[in-house]
Structure 1
């Protein structure tokens, strides 16, 4: 069973005026002017997806009555395979050239007009690490801090550790002389 999506890209039904169509869509979607303006931005916006054929046709007819020309797209359509063009031939990598007595600097040849702006940049010649190598510097082992615990001692098992004792509560008041009346 095919699934369809309804997409809108700001196109109007021939003969429809923009302002009445915006008002119709605002009433139809119960949306504010800002959301309606987004619909008419010119971008393709999916309004509803995962519709069956009857639901997609219902949406299309309703939106065309409102003046909006929508696109109904089959979501289950097979995706065509595109053969990619072969990559451009690789240029030999730039070779580090000593510049004004500065060994290990890279001489870069610009490949186009945009990159020509970066041709005179002084950049170090960083190599590329092999796959799987650790790029972070080794950290020295952390030393345990020297803490003086000689001032502390252990209390014997079961001893009172200085918790506050509960005060003895006063005896409850004597209410035996009180009686309820009928």
Structure 2
């Protein structure tokens, strides 16, 4: 006989208001706001487990009437078997390897899947070796500046003339009274 569990991930049914669903679940579970907030944290929570089919359906319908989307999961569902890659052969013959290519022995079954990857063998430089190629002396490009000259100090370099100051306003009609 199969056993089931009720799983909730914080999702509501389409068209259900989240605040109304929270209030319905608080009344259904007789829980405070803090516990209801934990239900809506987005984590996958098992609300009830070890139920028969009739009881699981009863819980599912009650929670969906409250507006919560739940899953009924078979606890005895078969576990999927994963087939591992076969271990690599002892050593590939030297003729099978191209010159300058790297041959890597896998460290475990997971890495055995990458045994046939063709990677270049870059090798390692000795300690203290300079890894950049030497560059020749860089010379300045030939630029002819003979057409340019410097103006003498204080000379006019073609700046725009400053606008003349406006005349002072006439204040002769103003008087100070004591």
Q: When the two structures are superposed, what TM-score results if normalisation uses the length of structure 2?
A: 0.49
Q: Higher Cα Rg: structure 1 or 2?
A: 2
